Chain A
Amino acid sequence: MRPSFFHHLHPPTIPARQARFRYTLAAGGLAVFLMLILLVTGILEMFFYIPTPDEAALSIQTLSFLVPYGGLVRNLHYWSAQLLLVVSAVHLLRVIFTGAYAPPRRFNYLLGLFLFVTAILLDFTGYILRWDEGVHWALVAGTNLVKSIPLLGKTLYGILVGGGQPGAATLIRFYGWHIFGLTLVAIILGFWHTFRLRRDGGIAVPPPALRVDHERITRFELVRREVLAMLLTGSALLILSAFSPAPLAPPITNAAALTEAARAPWFFLWVQQLLKLGSPFIWGVLVPLVVLLLLVLIPYGFPQPAKAELGRWFPKSNRAAQILFAILGLAILSLIALALIPNP
């Protein structure tokens, strides 16, 4: 058969061993798929969402309860978003534990990292758009965290919040960031990341001289596998969205009064735990930045994986990087788990 446009987006062949699910965990591809779902469901939500403090939460209630399949669209958007962060973390884990960031892939690794940060910010801005009591704490604490940055804090806060305290201006700015500003960044970084992936030679493998297995699969087979993954993930998302609704809470009516329990969104629970230790700037801004910096440094400051060991899990040569990532990952996961245990 003649390859279609979608077939042509893929390389003619790719190494069979690295094309297996147990190697990539399909994480990168799934991330792309989830972003597509988010784009489509997001656009559909835009037909009903109203970005003003009086109407935001009510318009989400209208969408969830009164619009036919509105609840389904919203839940799909919510679950795709949360799953995207999980899948991106898995993808990062896979890249580190297979040493796939080695040159020439170091820049692409950075692109991926910033794409991850963009996805997290997209999740946070989307979360705030609910403008209900469930997000009120995060809105206040999160914006005040920016204020704690020395020298730049006040200006950054003004840019973020659009006033002296969170209000109508904040909502419309977060809306602008969420539907356009950050999405544009994500699309640009996404395309660049995919382009670099192709230019850097696709999935990381040992050079032909050092390779053990020379079997390859065609673009047709690759597309078939991707379609399978999309169908399965789509089915799972539909079931999840049909039977597990996204959270809703009463609208924010009084900017000053916080009525619900103080809770960060799940992906920031580790920061909330850190903030219990003291200074907001150190624990809420510096420490997360340091974590990011350490991740950035992995391809540059740590022993590189050997070319012969590429294309498989747990190479010995970049063990230091793997251990660092494991420590960081476990620390963050433990902090999140701690936050989820109810207080006695």
Chain B
Amino acid sequence: MRRSLLAASALLLLALLAALWQESCRSKPVALTPVLTGQVEYCLTCHADLPEISRSHPVKTFGCVLCHGGERLSLDADLAHSTMRGGKNPSGFSVVEASCGGDNCHSGAAADYRNHIQRATSSIQATYAGAIASIRYTFGAQPDLTARLGIFAIQAPQSASGITGLAAFDPAQETNPAIQAFAQDCLYCHLSAQPLAEDEYSRFSGCAACHTPLSDSPPTFSENGGSHRGVHTLTTAIPYTQCNRCHNRGNYDLRSMTFVPRDDHPTGRLSDYYQPIAQFARCEWTLDCVDCHTRAEVMGDGSLYSGKKEIQYIQCRTCHGTLAELPNTKTLTDPNDLAFRLAFLNESAGHFESAWRLEVGDTILVTGKGEPLWNIRTLSGGTYELFDKATRQRFTFRPVMGSGCQQKADEQASQDCHKCHAVER
């Protein structure tokens, strides 16, 4: 008995040491108390190696939980991640309001230019209303091209287009087999969609579909000014390669309702940018999509539309003017002008040595709708300078007026410019 007791005492000591050792094996908690929440979080215990997501969202101010959700005190991975919004991507549209919303954040007032979530969720790219309306009209399910259905139901009472709401597109309600085939095979390219499995389509959903460029998908060429970005990134300097996760991926055959992926093997930016069948002007493959296509075009203006033709309006003339007119400009007098904010938020422009600095008194181009093209300003001598938002290159160009343009004065639309300026490939 006494030996048993001795052995049992030794066993207890060993068990206690084992318990104490197990405790010491745990990683030391790393605390972070973000300025905006004031509540301590311990995500950095395991995730300290993650890069800052953007200059505008420093982790010391935001922390992790404010955007991602999750259990801030847990050091057990499963529990910590169990209440995260949207898994790896808190900007998915089902959770975006909780993650990115708020008056001071991205669901504020339109007058403050802070209504991004409302604009993005009602945009054509999110609702896919144009594709749906077009297919349904083509196959007789609706009498005209006015959009009635979207990928999800959405209301926009202030919609300028007259369409104040869309119902959800439900394939089960459709009788035409072509429309059902469309629903089955063709819904991979709206902002809430799960993309196709191949690398060239890989992207996140929601806001991250555009604002988190993934670098793991070929091809990226050095001409792209290529900074290889990781997954934990938010940026407004979006390269064309990100847009090409959905755009320029192939062609459609409506009769067989099939999608034929492009099968070329691009060797450079020129042949990668657009599909081989297309011909484009030089700036269209030299610049990135975001250099021309405006905030309203890409993210919507808060109204519901029936097709991209109703929201896309940028033309060659917007920057180059016509034979009769110079492009619209605006001199910046208010230091709180949206143009300054946009320039600041683009990390290519705002944060590098050879930065693009806008000053009060600069004259920038504006579109016909008054959207500031902050990356294009007038130079003395009647020329203009453009700053590529993704590659940081600068280009100087002349207006059409006073040039050797051989088009007619009343044929100054983009298609007319292409007749001479589209590149032979």
The judgment on whether A and B are partners is yes
Tell me the A residues contacting B by CB distance below 8 Å: 58, 61-62, 64-66, 68-69, 71-72, 221, 224-225, 227-228, 231-232, 234-236, 238-239, 241-243, 245, 248-251
Chain A residues within an 8 Å CB radius of B9:
231
Known A61-B79, A227-B5, A248-B79; contact A234-B15, beta-carbon cutoff 8 A: yes
A221's nearest neighbour on chain B, judged by CB, is B1
B18 interface residue (CB < 8 Å to A): yes
A65-B73, A250-B82 known; A235+B23 contact, CB < 8 A: no
- Nearest CB on B from A239, distance (A): 5
In the complex, B19 has a CB within 8 A of chain A: yes
Q: Smallest CB-CB separation from A62: which chain B residue?
A: B73
| CB of B4 closer than 8 Å to a CB of A | yes
A104 to chain B, nearest CB (A): 32
Other than the given A228-B4, A242-B22, A250-B71, 19 more pairs (CB < 8 A) read A61-B71, A61-B73, A61-B79, A64-B76, A65-B73, A65-B75, A65-B76, A66-B75, A228-B8, A231-B9, A231-B11, A232-B8, A234-B15, A235-B12, A235-B15, A238-B12, A242-B19, A250-B83, A251-B71
Query: Of B4, B5, B29, which one neighbours A66 at CB under 8 angstroms?
Result: B29
Looking at the assembled complex, report how far the CB atom of B38 sits from the nearest CB atom of chain A, in whole angstroms.
14
Q: How far is the CA of A250 from the CA of B71 in the complex (A)?
A: 7
* Chain B stretch 73-100: residues in CB contact (< 8 A) with chain A: 73-76, 79, 82-83
Instruction: Using known A-B contacts A66-B29, A69-B23, A243-B22, determine if residue A228 contacts B79 with beta carbons closer than 8 Å.
Output: no
Minimum distance in angstroms from B284 CB to a CB of chain A = 49
Q: Please tell me if the beta carbons of B23 and A61 are within 8 angstroms of each other in the complex.
A: no
| Known A-B contacts A224-B1, A228-B4, A231-B8; A248 and B16 likewise in contact (beta carbons under 8 Å) | no
Question: Which residue of chain A lies nearest to B2 when distances are taken between CB atoms in the complex?
Answer: A224
* Nearest CB of A to B289, in Å: 40
**CB of B355 within 8 A of chain A?**
no
A235-B79 contact, Cβ under 8 Å, with A62-B73, A242-B18: no
Q: How long is the Cα–Cα vector from A187 to B360 in the complex, in angstroms?
A: 80
A231-B83 contact, Cβ under 8 Å, with A72-B23, A224-B5, A248-B74: no
B29 touches A235 (CB 8 A): no
Task: Tell yes or no: B201 within 8 A of A by CB.
Answer: no
B76 touches A72 (CB 8 A): no
Q: Which residue on chain B has the smallest CB distance to residue A224?
A: B1
Q: A136 to chain B: closest CB distance in Å?
A: 14
CA distance A153 to B1 in the complex (A): 55
21 A-B interface contacts by CB (under 8 A): A61-B71, A65-B42, A65-B74, A65-B75, A65-B76, A66-B42, A66-B75, A72-B19, A224-B1, A227-B5, A228-B4, A228-B5, A231-B12, A232-B11, A236-B15, A238-B15, A242-B15, A243-B22, A249-B79, A250-B71, A251-B71
Give the residues in chain A near B42, CB-CB below 8 Å: 65-66
Q: A235 is contacted by which of B11, B76, B82, B83 (Cβ under 8 Å)?
A: B11
Cβ–Cβ < 8 Å partners of B20 in chain A: 69
6 nearest A-B residue pairs (beta carbon):
A231-B8, A235-B15, A242-B19, A238-B15, A65-B75, A61-B73
Determine whether B14 belongs to the interface, using a CB cutoff of 8 Å to chain A: yes
Which residue on chain A has the smallest CB distance to residue B74? A61
Point out the residues of chain B lying under 8 angstroms from A221, CB to CB.
1
Set of chain B residues within 8 Å of A242, measured between Cβ atoms: 15, 18-19, 22-23
Residue in B closest to A239 when the chains form the complex, CB atoms: B15
Identify B5's interface contact among A68, A231, A251, CB under 8 A. A231
Q: What's the Cα separation between A224 and B74 when bound, in Å? A: 42
A235–B5 touching, CB < 8 Å: no
The CA-CA distance from A52 to B4 in the complex, in Å, is 47
B9 to A, closest residue via Cβ: A231
A228–B2 alpha-carbon span in the complex (Å): 9
**How distant is the Cα of A224 from the Cα of B75 in the complex, in angstroms?**
41
**Interface residues in B5-35 (C-beta closer than 8 Å to A):** 5, 8-9, 11-12, 14-16, 18-20, 22-23, 29
**Cβ contact within 8 Å between B18 and A238:** yes
A23 to chain B, nearest CB (A): 17
Q: Chain A nearest CB: distance from B87 CB in Å? A: 15
Neighbouring B residues of A231 by C-beta, 8 Å: 5, 8-9, 11-12
Cβ contacts under 8 Å, B22 to chain A: 242-243
B76 contacts across to A, CB distance below 8 A: 64-65, 245, 248
Interfacial chain B residues near A251, Cβ < 8 Å: 71
Closest chain-B Cβ to A290's Cβ sits at a distance in Å of: 40
Residues of A contacting B15 with CB < 8 Å? 234-236, 238-239, 242
Q: In the bound complex, what is the Cα–Cα distance between A62 and B76 (angstroms)?
A: 12
Q: Which residues of B contact A225 (CB under 8 A)?
A: 1
Name the distance in Å between A201's Cβ and chain B's nearest Cβ.
25
Q: Chain A contacts of B73 at CB under 8 A?
A: 58, 61-62, 65-66
Which residues of the other chain, A, contact B83 by a CB distance below 8 angstroms?
250
| Chain A neighbourhood of B82, CB < 8 A | 249-250
Residues of A within 8 A of B11 (CB): 231-232, 235
Please name the residue on chain A nearest to B22 by beta carbon.
Answer: A242
A-chain residues with CB within 8 Å of residue B18 when the two chains form the complex: 238-239, 242
Question: Are A65 and B29 in contact, with the CB atoms below 8 A?
Answer: yes
